[in-house]
Amino acid sequence: MEWKYEHSIGIQEIDDQHRKLIEIIVSIERAIVSHVGWRDIVYGLVDLKVFARSHFEIEEALMRMYGYKEAAKHTEEHQYFFTRLAEIECKSIDKLAEGELLKFLRDWLKKHILGEDRGYADHILAGASIVKTKVPSLTVVKSAG
């Protein structure tokens, strides 16, 4: 799994965060493939959860600021990510759980970036009005779209 230009949602800061999320998932994949033990996988998962939490909060703040109608549904998707991750983590540490973990992380992130994330980005980039006054400055990817 690697970040590709087709993953761009048109907002540089968010693209950079998605790139970082993918890097963390790749480090978890590497830990699994190299059989270094569950400890490195757990470290990777901790990194992933910490970074995903801040990334999701930034997105949720942007959606509120720009009055995005699907914000609540999108936030539920973010919550589902942590719920499902916790379910997989509760399973016994075996090959099956590792395979399920990687499949979930890859599939969820790809679908979410190309689907839900692009949805709010398109709303902002289409010139949505700011409904709250404090808005972080965003750098639009020039050739996106």
Name the residues that contact Fe ion, by CB under 5 A: 59, 117
Specify the residue, 72 or 93, whose C-beta has the smaller distance to Fe ion. 72
CB-CB contact of 145 with 125 (8 Å): yes
Minimum distance of Fe ion from residue 88's CB (angstroms):
19
Which of 93, 92, 61 is closest to 75 using CA atoms? 61
Specify the residue, 29 or 117, whose C-beta has the smaller distance to Fe ion. 117
Specify the residue, 98 or 117, whose C-beta has the smaller distance to Fe ion. 117
Minimum distance of Fe ion from residue 92's CB (angstroms):
30
| Residue facing Fe ion at closest CB distance | 117
| Residue 8 main-chain phi, psi, to 5 deg | -65, 135
Count of CB atoms situated within 10 Å of the CB of 12: 15
Count of CB atoms situated within 10 Å of the CB of 35: 7
Minimum distance of Fe ion from residue 77's CB (angstroms):
7
